Structure 1
Amino acid sequence: MASFWAKEVPATVLVAALLIWIMPMMIGTFTLTVLIIYGMLGFSLGLIWGFGGILCFGQAAFFGLGAYTYAIAAINIGDSTIPMLLAVLVPAVFAALLGAMMFYGRLTDVYLGVITLVVTLILFKFINSTAGPEYVIGKARLGGFNGIPGFQTLNVPGRPNDYIFGDPFYYVCAVLLLIVYLLVSWLLKSSFGRVAVGIRENETRVALMGYDVSARKTVLFAIGAAIAGLAGALFANWGEIVTPNLFSLSQTAEIIIWCIVGGLGTRFGPIVGAAGLAYLKFLLGQQSMIDNTLLTGIILVLFVLFLPKGLVPAVVSLWRISFGQRRKIRKHGARRIRRGGVGNG
């Protein structure tokens, strides 16, 4: 673990700082901000699915729950600090309770996927049906399909009138993604992370070794929900409105596609997949000739057929093959030179 903080963290921070500085020169910070938020959302599923082996169709539910929690709390409190914390805590607690019921109930992967999908659809239907004036939490009306607009956006802690928006909000989101990335990287390199990967590979063997598999899967599930909730709160600040579409089935499908395209089992893959496909969708939204959903489906099929491991693992493999061969050639040539030198002498 000491090598992680000494070697990997400085390099990661340096690369992230360069990207945070360079990217606004190519893409506007308003668009970059939502790409970062989607990257965090994809990262949340990449953690529990890619490293824990838990295929969850509920990340959209946790994303929307975080956004709605923030909006409701911000309207009632009038400050963003506590709402941001609640937006992380509420989805985490909800996921912990749901996960405990599923994992201690020893449900198979198929039933896990079905239950998380049903939970997402239930929340979507419920939020859509809250248009009446009786659906109020404190001062906040849920608004039904119209959503909740006009809540307190991110501000300097203790100073509600000092809003954080525009370029500063972009940097806040980027730094939060970096912090989440480093914390998850540290977690995966710890004993907990190694056991989680072991559960993904062979759950029965890990259980026979004496580990409480259900408890560890529940904790990992809750951590993924907390990250999705944070992304939801940031999205609420970015859009300044929350609607039931955050819980939609299309949102759920997109998150899964992001992870598949980017590369499961990698930390950076889901972030790249989410940001890349979201930006592609943004570009296609400026024209009407090609349908976004059709193109996304084609991309998914192509990746499943030709790059089943995802984009990032393919690039890494190509890099290793290319530069690995060059290193072998250089080493082989150096050995021949040394041998020739010894023979001539």
Structure 2
Amino acid sequence: MIPEFSATSATPPKLWWWLLIATAAAGLLALPYYSDMAVQLDLSIIFVFALLALSMSFLWGYAGILSFGQTIFFGLGGYSYAILALNTNTTALAFAGAIVIPVLFSALLGYFMIYGRISDIYLSVITLVVTLIFEKGIRSTSGPEYVIGSVRLGGQNGIPGVPSLSLPSLDGAPMSIEGVFYLTGGFMLLVYVALRLLLTTRFGRVIVGIRENERRMELLGYDTRRYKLFAFVLAGAIASLSGVLYGLWGNFVAPEMFNLNQAAQVVIWVIVGGRSTLVGPIFGAGLVQYLTNWLGTVSVGQVTVVLGIVLMVFVLLFPRGLLPTLGDAVSALRARLFQGRKN
């Protein structure tokens, strides 16, 4: 099997992998010169969702923790950025603070679940319940009394007018659509590379070992709870970054960032792309997002039903996900060709 398509592989990236990354980076830099703003906006939101899918892929596929709470940190990141930016008028500091706040919450939530020895199934249920609590709580803040600083939470209507990111290099000017494209695409590529390299380290090997057999890793002397908590917090940080970028992309945050449909979609992206790989969920997020937009343009009323059918087809035909299945097919073809040459 191709190493990059395996969740158990700790093989350092080959030269060809670095060449692919360099090619992707070059394509990212060149694309705005050959595309209009609509294409850049569509790709930017795919990059944002790909980051959210990466957080789930790492946590579920490599650490073995199925959490429905990634949308908690996604929503917290977006709302934190909106509130901090509108209250302080400093978007760069708000950007950093909007990641720190969800990370602290993920550390607190993860500590009580993981150090409390909550089983995997109950951990999934707890994160699902906390997601519901956040969604219902945000939706019930429509009244004028629900204010943080000078910012009304807005309840169902969300918070409009989220400021664009302004950096000193831009002389304080708001970031353009092209800038958002570069920002989202750059972060997606950077996080993917960082996670891929992290999995080749001792930490990455221990995390995969815990997923395979936690009791054995404990007997070998590893504090599995500490490793699982770090993985949970890291995934929360990536999801919160995705939420901040979502707020920057649309200049708007809303309770839908927390809801169960969004939480289910993250799982669908990972299943479609393949949770045994990091790159698979990126393609899964892009494919499902493109399909969702296309179904909307052809006036299909029950988009959710169609996506559910797509998910069932992928589970039946590609139980390990699209990219791992294709990777197996390529490996089998190479082996057959090699065997044919020997004969």
Q: TM-score, normalised by structure 2?
A: 0.91
* Structure 2: unaligned runs, 5 residues or longer: 1-10
Q: How does 1:228-267 map to 2 (within 5 A)?
A: 228-267=239-278
Does the 8 Å CA contact 2:49/2:285 hold for their aligned counterparts?
A: yes
How far apart are the structure 1 equivalents of 2:260 and 2:51? Answer: 19
Please point out which of 42, 45, 49 is paired with 1:31.
42
**1:158 shift after superposition:** 7.2
SS of the equivalent of 2:287 reads helix
1:163 aligned counterpart, secondary structure: coil
45, 49, 66: which one pairs with 1:55? 66
Task: Say whether the 8 Å CA contact 2:296–2:303 is kept in structure 1.
Answer: yes
RMSD: 1.9
| 1:5 Cα deviation from its structure 2 partner | 7.6
Specify the SS of the correspondent of 2:24. Answer: helix
Give 2:23's aligned residue: 15
Secondary structure at the aligned position of 2:297 is classed as coil
- Structure 2: distance between partners of 1:69 and 1:181: 24
Task: Choose the corresponding residue for 1:199, options 210, 220, 229.
Answer: 210
Instruction: Report the CA distance between 1:212 and its aligned residue.
Output: 0.8
Give the stretch that moved more between structures: 321-330 or 225-234: 321-330
Equivalent residue for 2:336, pick from 320, 325, 334: 325
Q: Following TM superposition, by how much is the alpha carbon of 1:171 offset from its aligned partner in structure 2, in angstroms?
A: 1.3
- Any conservation in 2 of the 1:80–1:160 contact (CA below 8 Å)? no
Which of 215, 224, 232 in structure 2 is aligned with 1:213?
224
Corresponding pairs, count: 330
Separation in structure 2 between the aligned mates of residue 187 and residue 308 of structure 1, nearest angstrom: 26
Distance 2:20 2:240 in 1: 24
Given candidates 146, 152, 155, the residue that maps to 1:141 is: 152
Deviation at residue 190 of structure 1 after TM alignment: 0.6
Match of 2:310 in 1: 299
CA contact (8 A) 2:155 2:255 kept: yes
State how 1:98-247 maps to structure 2 within 5 Å.
98-157=109-168, 161-247=172-258
Question: For residue 246 of structure 1, what is the amino acid of its counterpart?
Answer: M
Q: Is the 1:49–1:264 Cα contact (8 Å) retained in structure 2?
A: yes
1:68 positional shift: 0.3
| TM-aligned CA distance change 1:211 to 1:145, over 3 Å | same
Partner amino acid, structure 2, of 1:112: L
Residue 79 of structure 1 contacts residue 158 of structure 1 at CA under 8 Å; is this kept in 2? Answer: no
What residue number does 1:90 align with?
101
Counterpart of 1:189 in 2: which secondary structure? Answer: coil
Query: Following the alignment from structure 1 to structure 2, what is the Cα–Cα distance between the partners of residues 120 and 289?
Result: 29
CA distance in 2, matches of 1:167, 1:323: 41
Offset of residue 303 of structure 1? 1.5
Alpha-carbon separation, structure 1, partners of 2:186 and 2:49: 14
- Consecutive unaligned residues in structure 1, runs of 5 or more: 334-345
Q: Equivalent of 1:275, from 280, 286, 300? A: 286
Q: Deviations over 1:93-141 (max 9, x none)?
A: 1111111100111111110011000110000011111112221111211
Letter of the 1:29 partner, please give it: Q
Return the alpha-carbon distance in structure 2 between the equivalents of residues 87 and 153 of structure 1: 14
- 2:295 alignment partner in structure 1: 284
Residue identity (%):
42
User: Counterpart of 1:56 in 2: which secondary structure?
Assistant: coil
Q: Aligned-pair distance for 1:29?
A: 0.6
1:290 positional shift: 5.0
Letter in 2 for 1:111: Y
Q: For residues 297 and 312 of structure 1, do their structure 2 counterparts lie closer, same or farther at Cα, with a shift above 3 Å needed? A: same
CA distance in 1, matches of 2:12, 2:174: 36
Amino acid at match of 1:234: L
Q: TM-score, normalised by structure 1?
A: 0.91
Counterpart-to-counterpart distance in 1, 2:314 and 2:44? 26
Deviations 1:44-69 (A, max 9, x none): 10010000000000111110010001
1:286-319 Cα offsets, whole Å, 9 max, x none, are 1223521011111111111121100010111111
